[in-house]
Structure 1
Amino acid sequence: MSASAKRLIVGWQEWVSLPELGLPALKAKIDTGAKTSALDTHSLEPFDTSRRPRVRFHVRPCPEAPELEVPVSADIFDRREVVSSNGVSELRYVISTHLSIGGRQWPIEVTLANREHMAYRMLIGRQAIRTGLLVDCRASFCQPRLSYDLYDGIGRTA
Structure 2
Amino acid sequence: MSTDKPVLGWREWLSFPGIGIAAIKAKVDTGARTSCLHAYYVEPFERDGSHWVRFGIHPQQGDTSEEVHCEAPLKDRRVVRDSGGHEELRYVIETEMVIGEHRFTSEVTLTDRDTMKFRVLLGRTGIGEHYLVDPSKSYVQGRRKRKVKRGQRAVKS
Range of TM-score over shorter length: over 0.9
Q: Match of 1:155?
A: 152
Runs of 5+ in structure 1 lacking a partner? none
Of 124, 128, 132, which aligns to 1:126?
124
Q: Percent identity?
A: 40
Q: Aligned partners of 2:126, 2:150: CA distance in 1, in Å?
A: 29
Of 85, 106, 114, which aligns to 1:108?
106
Structure 2 residue 119 is the aligned partner of structure 1 residue 92: no
Shift of 1:64: 3.7
Kept in 1: contact 2:67–2:152 (CA 8 A)? yes
Q: 1:153 to 1:60 in 2, by over 3 A?
A: closer
SS at match of 1:151: coil
Kept in 1: contact 2:67–2:150 (CA 8 A)? no
Give deviations 1:106-148, integer Å, cap 9, x for gaps: 1100000000000000000011112230100111110111122
Letter in 2 for 1:151: V
Could you list the structure 1 runs, at least 4 aligned residues long, displaced by more than 6 angstroms after superposition: none
Q: Aligned partners of 1:82, 1:104: CA distance in 2, in Å?
A: 27
Superposition RMSD on alpha carbons, in Å? 1.6
Instruction: Name whichever structure is richer in helix by fraction.
Output: 1
Q: Aligned partners of 1:32, 1:142: CA distance in 2, in Å?
A: 16
Q: Match of 2:9?
A: 11
Of 35, 38, 42, which aligns to 1:37?
35
Q: 1:154 to 1:103 in 2, by over 3 A?
A: farther
Kept in 1: contact 2:65–2:150 (CA 8 A)? no
Q: Aligned partners of 1:61, 1:144: CA distance in 2, in Å?
A: 18
Q: 1:90 to 1:144 in 2, by over 3 A?
A: same
Shift of 1:13: 0.2
Letter in 2 for 1:32: T
Runs of 5+ in structure 2 lacking a partner? none
Shift of 1:152: 2.3
Number of aligned positions between the proteins: 153
The TM-score with structure 2 as length reference comes to: 0.92
Shift of 1:103: 1.1
Shift of 1:99: 1.0
Kept in 1: contact 2:41–2:112 (CA 8 A)? no
Q: Aligned partners of 2:94, 2:21: CA distance in 1, in Å?
A: 14
